[in-house]
Amino acid sequence: MRPHILFTTLSFSPHLKSTRPFTARALSSLRRDDDGTITISPADPSAHSASVILCHGLGDTADGWVDPARFLANKLPHTKFILPTAPTQPVTLNMGFAMPSWYDIVGLDSRSNELCEGLDESMGKILNLIHEQVTNDNIDYSRIVLAGFSQGGALALYTGMTCNKVGEEYHGLGLAGIVLMSGYLPRASSFRIAEGSQYTPILHCHGRDDPMVMVDAVQLSKNRVLEMGGTDYETKIYPGLEHSVSMEELEDVTEFLLKVIPQKNDEL
């Protein structure tokens, strides 16, 4: 019997709340790697000047975010979207069933979330993807955004704010931005911001009626980040939205991305 997954990612059908039809134009190319990573690249490789690494939620894979990522890619034709897939491992919260998970979740209370076994390994995977963009595609850290839904959003926030550049122990990543959708700050009690990353803009979107990650997580996460020196933490709350993603939310994410990783003047 399939386990009940509490933190799921929600793609366009049937869970994405929309009153408008979605159509994807052929403005990008898609590649699937053996490790489950999906990459959506600009149709014109020479236009690539920014990257977004988008992490799915517990129990999902990169495939669950292909349509939303294509929607965003159509709005940002200069941006590559990289969708990694979490390793399959037992999750205590779901009776020990193995499923794609960035780290173990013991319970829904804040103390349970402090353990996060496997979080460091997942951060290493995301850092490798960032390093590949910097070294292979010549994309500066300041042109890279980490994003994610639910557990993937938690991973994006923690990685983007606490980690340092490869080979530079005292220099934070200094990313262009971080996006959380229905996410939260994990390991809040030990959370510290890496030097230089306190200026990274953060967008935290959340459904007011989310029964899985309560909306209180938004203010708690924001308060802790600001307490530790963060300077730019924007929140968006959507009445009537549960543990899901809406078209209104994706439009807000689009607006944020266009602000932090706009097309360069020579690309217009």
- Residues carrying an active site annotation: 150, 210, 243
**DSSP state string for 79-97:** EEEEE--PPEEE-GGGTT-
Q: For residues 161 and 176, what is the distance between their CA atoms, to the nearest angstrom?
A: 11
Show the tokens assigned to 43. 């149709």
CA 240 to centroid of chain Cα atoms: 22
**CA angle at residue 60 from 39 to 109, to 5 degrees?**
125
Scanning the structure block, which residue is given the tokens 């935290």?
Answer: 204
Q: CB within 8 A of 251, min separation 6: which ones?
A: none
**Helix, strand, coil content of the chain in percent (nearest 5):** 35, 20, 45
Strand partners, 234: 203
